[in-house]
Structure 1
Amino acid sequence: MRLFIFFLLLLFCFSLEAQSLSWAKSFGRGDSPLINNAIKKALARDASGNVYTTGSFTSGAGGIDFDPGVGVFNLTSGGGTDVFISKLDANGNFVWALRIGGTGTQVGEHIALDVAGNIYIAGTFDSTPDFNPGVGVFNITSSGSLDYFIVKLDLAGNFLWAKSIGGSYGTSDNIINSLTVDAVGNIYFTGAINGGGQSFDFDPNIGTFLLTLPITAAYNIYTAKWDANGNFVWAKQLTASIGLNCVGNDIQLDALGNIFIVGNFSEMLDFDPGVGVFSMGVAGSLRAFLWVLNNGGNFIAAREFGGSGPTDRVLAKSFNFDVFNNMYLTGIFTGTADFDPNAGIFNLTSPSGSTLSLYVVKLSPIGILLWAKAVHVIPGLIDGVYDGVSSVSDCGVLVTGIFVGTADFDPSIGVFNLPPGIFTPYILQLDPNGNFIYAIKPNVTFKSPLDIDAFGNMYGIGTFSNTQDFDLNPNAVFNLTAPVEGNATFVTKLLPFPWAPSVISPLSACLNSTDTISASTVLGSSLSWYSEVTGGTFLGTGNSLITPVLTDTTTFYVQDSTCQAGPRDSITVNTISCIPLPITLLSFNAYLHNEAVQTEWVTTTEINNDYFTIERSTDAIHFDPIGTKKGAGNSNAMLNYEFLDQLSTFNFSLSTVLYYRLKQTDFNGNYEYFDVKAVYIEKNTSLDYLEVYPNPTTGEFFISWNDKLTNEIVIQLTDNLGKEIYTTFITQENRIQLKMNNELPKGIYFLNIQTNQTTVVKKIIKN
């Protein structure tokens, strides 16, 4: 199976600054806090932008520092695993951290806020922990198994109340898979109860309201409602006689207060918890359900998705509503499944019977199928797709998680593969019509669905080890380092898409001439050019622009408008008086060679040429000189030049992009810049010393790499829009000759050269 773990999010699309990251913070020293590995909603945000998170931690006697800044705020566990609740302000600064626990095992899994800022935390516990994180004590004793708790705190973190749900004997268990809170603080939750013949009391006070499983059942689906004071309102059960894989996975309220629940079941089941009957299901077939109740817990509707055989499996993991009350549902499936919940048929099929694929479904407010899309992997031994949760907006659907193997993230006829890997994180965005917008590979995995504010900023939480770069822009770096003892928890705020482009063109041009200016985006998106920061004259589209005749210093503005207008970045072109520099440059190339960067260029004519300067940059904007080469003065012969950048004193990370620029100066001090070349540095990897030549090429070219490479290498040729042209697989070689199809037009192409350790991208030009 090829493996995905994903979260689907309702993405609000607003303009972004010149980078993808607003801030990232981590906490945990020594014994590090952990986020529960199940997909839970462990992060919430209030109207002021403060960020609240929960999870669990185990510490030594010295405790763990939960202040991600220069201060110290230690929490110490009580001998087992305890719950933490953390609050950071809108800028990621520490506000407070609290602990709930005792000598046993307590895990924080869900956190939610009401409109007054009260905080609700749910999770599991055993033994007798203290649920008051302040100076007081409020103990609850479990029934002998893992029980569930719900705690309410005020906006300052002061204890208000704590309640629990338990089973009737020591091995029974109940699960809260999802929890939500309405505007006045009523609490709604869903999950499963398990333990054949066992009863669970859903009234947390002196009353009793039992839900009892049939003696033959493994699991039954339930949902329940408590009021803002933790008083029981109602609980409902879907009674399954066998109950394999019967569970509610996500719960949300629509604008009218109706309750929507998605989950899984595998037998004929009555979805009307009242006196009526509404049966769905196929015996032995794992299917997904959508269950709708009114706010009083009475049945409104139910729908199902699935196939007909035991290998046709559909799991519903998460959903959410857009502003028009359309519903986006996501999950995983194998085999062939019908994703039209009504009388029609709309089948999606995974690549092989056992390979798990990702699906995203959009339904109208009355449950009519609008579209269904799938993301597949290339079938293999350990590859597939698992788990997920969701959110949506005008800009489309955002999915984040991990995958194993090679996956095509474009659900249409196009192809967009991210570099293959094992448990590799990804972010995928589809537009409101289900069309592919982008996919990108972050360096960390989010353990909880991203929370998106009204401006489109995205907040995430997870754990990480070693040193990781949290900025999605490859031209920017923001590293956090976990303690050497293990993992740390991170909380991050990502700026919304579309992201502002990065300027990569020279900023000087000759007076009374035209010039070509260029920019790039993180995702290779299409750019638009304007004369003003807002409004102004539309000048064209594409990654480059031929300017009008420059009669003075002029500022141009470039914008990514992939799904809607992003921020405009400025490019100011300074005009200088130029005497034409009669030098003809045939080629200029830069490439990695023996842990150094080799630059080579060829001239065909030189007049009055004094010298060349080689310049290097890490951001394609600010360049520093690193060496010079004497010119020929006057020449009509073809001359070859080279300069080797040893990189011996340059501090670069495992994966770094360096930019090289050639500057030519004549005997009068006049100078000219030539094209910028990017070199992808993959330090200490099996693709060191990789070369592509000749480049430019008329069609045939060679790729050579380290002769120590013995594992499989994947070579993919794409055009400048990322469209795949062909892919080939090579083993036990260190040199290969390739040929472009004669029908391919002249232009810029990219080689994505991948091993199981790394990926190198090389630009190749066809003349």
Structure 2
Amino acid sequence: DTMYLEVTSIPQFTLPIYSGFACAPNAIDISSLISIFPPVGNDTLFFNDASYTTAYAGNPHAISTADSVYMIVRTSNVAACSDTARAHIDVLPATNNIANQNVGNFSDCGAVGCGTITLGNGNTETLYTTSDCRRIATVTDDPTDMISLGNTSICEDIECTVLFYNTQPYVNRHYEITPTVNGKATVCLYYLQQDFDDYDAAAFPSWPSMSPTTNLAITQIDNGNLGSPSSIATAIPNSLITATYDPLTTVWTVCFPVDSFSHFYAHTQNLFNTPLPVTLTNFTGKRVNETSALSWITSSEINNSHFVVERSKDAKSFSAVSSKINSKGVNGNSSVDLNYSYSDMTPMNGHNYYRLQQVDIDGHVSHSGTVDVYFGNETMVTMYPNPVNTELNIDINSIETGRARIKIMDATGRVVKTVELSLQAGSNAAKIDMQSLSDGIYMISISNGKNLSYSQTIRKK
């Protein structure tokens, strides 16, 4: 016969105490891989002193912000067969300060660096600096498109001086956000008042002073950086931006909706809300008999190749309706007013949203804001004022009698208010009380299940 004898040796832990570090805006829970308490001896115990003598009452313990916890993991209380390990976990409170904000509330210039957050559908995450828990950016995944952004890279750079592009200045803090999958979201970026003061000093007297709540705009550059060949510039107007100020930290929180990502630059909104690479002083559209008559004026052009007129029925998906409209400038350059026009001979029934695609000689692409030219007999909806404070007016020109439902959704897609309407054929007016809603961006949708389906973004302030 053969007998096998297994001897369990006394475990020895020679590794030092493990220390952890985390930033947390709220309380977090920790636990070990061992079951808590049952069976007897398989415990995770929490202490509030380094000598492990004063235990927290009511183990296990939920770690709060600004908490320091000492933890023992014990696998068994059987003599000679128990393993124990120790850990020390510090949780620092996330501050309201932002990256590279010094004690004088100035920006220390230089690259803040890059980090990654993971966003599921409808989730909100903030990226903090790893050394001192300061905010870099916050992104909320829009739940309505059923797309998860996934692992999302965020980079921030702070220039040492205010820089210019195509004669227009932009704020020294700028960001790059790149998700795994592009989708709709709300982005919140952070700036110091001093960042805007520095912008004002550089912009004066050619550009207006920065007023974040009234004239701040964001230029979004897709497919590259500012001025890169094949990049696409889009202006996010102030009407879609919510800017709030914390006087204690002098931090501005600037939030806005997006449906794609790349580089973001802040600047004052110019007259027709064109992005940084374009200087457009006029863009209008009107119905002339059965055609859409469009006209625009540029006050300066630098390396401009041509324009293309694009059209959309929903102001979201655009396609070209014109061929190339070449620059009137000498070799694409001009410092005087140049007038352009185009007539769309086959407009669609209903709303026709037009925008200009401007292409530089090097292939850089920019887009203007939109103008709306209306044709036909479909139901028309108008909402005002925007931004709204107390009461939102909704005018509906309905083609038939019936009922409609108004839904108000917040930035997370949650329905915060529903209103039922009775419509008559012709003009209808509704007033929606907005006083109970918090300041922020809301999506207003109106539908009757048949020929009326309309949505618009409104800012409550």
Fold in common (TM above 0.5): no
Q: If the length of structure 2 is used for normalisation, what is the TM-score?
A: 0.31
Q: Which structure has more RCO (C-alpha within 8 Å, separation ≥ 6)? A: 1
